[in-house]
Structure 1
């Protein structure tokens, strides 16, 4: 009887273990970067459009749902150069569930320095191009930072970072609250 009790308690402890959700992003397609190498001039502008997928893998979480809340924005950059921005629809993954949503980020008249254009053009020719994506939400104090998301590749993992919001400046320019 004692052995059965120990086995029962061990099973309860292991079944109650829950891992955190994983957030991931994939770039499923891109247009507007075809002319990177042929662009001329010191700083020609680009108008890229990125199709992306945001995924929440909550399959190992037995305790809580995980969400990307409303008013979320995805920003795509390459080597610290802004490439595009777009909205991410709100969605949740319930306990032990995986969910994903498609979104589009775009830029118009984006200026990318020549050395970055040349580097990105070479990476695209080799099928190695990767960008960075950040997903932020107005309603939370977290940002998803997804580094080196390969264009046309699998979902890349994101890390969650805390954002410490500053108070809006008062009429006199100070940020002290009354």
Structure 2
């Protein structure tokens, strides 16, 4: 007969079963709790911003001139992960500035309009950046025109998100090629408090 404590005061069969059950279930329960608490990848908590190229124009102007007047047309996509813990209901930015750089030389700027996304939602907005008679050094001009001819221009796009007072609340950097309909993820380099 299985008893909890036998006549000699030792733990019996049921007692051993209970101990074995606790030893087996305790790590499983602790693992489940830790998985629930820490299971979300920290990068999933950040809003995800990406760009899709709609159009690059004005990069291959007169080779005898040191100036270009480029126009860039992008679709900005904002996605908030459904498990984002630090974002109560939605992530919004009210305004911002988009800057397009080639080899760290600014080519174009433009306004970044407001955009909001709720958890597990993706929202998109069209953004334009332009430059007027932008001077670029000879060596960069030649390299840029060569890349335009080959169809492989790579630019950096900085998205500076501003808060209501106009202070920088976040910066996302995207490396973009002149290939339309391809999605380019942006990397967060600075994010203060986006939860307005």
Alignment match, 1:160: 188
Alignment match, 1:91: 115
Deviations 1:30-58 (Å, cap 9, x if unpaired)? 111132xx4115x3x11111001111122
Once the two structures are TM-superposed, the CA of residue 70 in structure 1 deviates from its matched residue by: 2.1
| 1:128 partnered with 2:113 | no
Query: TM-score, normalising length from structure 1?
Result: 0.73
The answer to whether the 8 A contact 1:131-1:149 is kept is: yes
Unaligned runs of 5+ in 2: 1-21
Once the two structures are TM-superposed, the CA of residue 157 in structure 1 deviates from its matched residue by: 1.7
SS in 1 for 2:119: coil
- Which protein is richer in helix relative to its size? 2
| 1:145 partnered with 2:145 | no
Structure with the greater alpha carbon radius of gyration: 2
Alignment match, 2:130: 106
Q: Tell me how far apart the structure 1 counterparts of residues 39 and 91 of structure 2 sit (CA, whole Å).
A: 16
Aligned length in residues:
155
C-alpha change, 1:143 and 1:129, in structure 2 (3 Å) is same
C-alpha change, 1:91 and 1:163, in structure 2 (3 Å) is closer
Higher deviation after alignment, 131-140 or 16-25: 16-25
The answer to whether the 8 A contact 2:105-2:136 is kept is: yes
Alignment match, 2:80: 58
| 1:24 partnered with 2:53 | no
Deviations 1:83-107 (Å, cap 9, x if unpaired)? 1000111111110011111010000
SS in 2 for 1:40: coil
Q: Tell me how far apart the structure 2 counterparts of residues 142 and 161 of structure 1 sit (CA, whole Å).
A: 8
Q: Tell me how far apart the structure 1 counterparts of residues 83 and 117 of structure 2 sit (CA, whole Å).
A: 10
Deviations 1:6-47 (Å, cap 9, x if unpaired)? 79x949x55994423321123220111132xx4115x3x111
Tell me the C-alpha RMSD between the 2 structures. 2.8
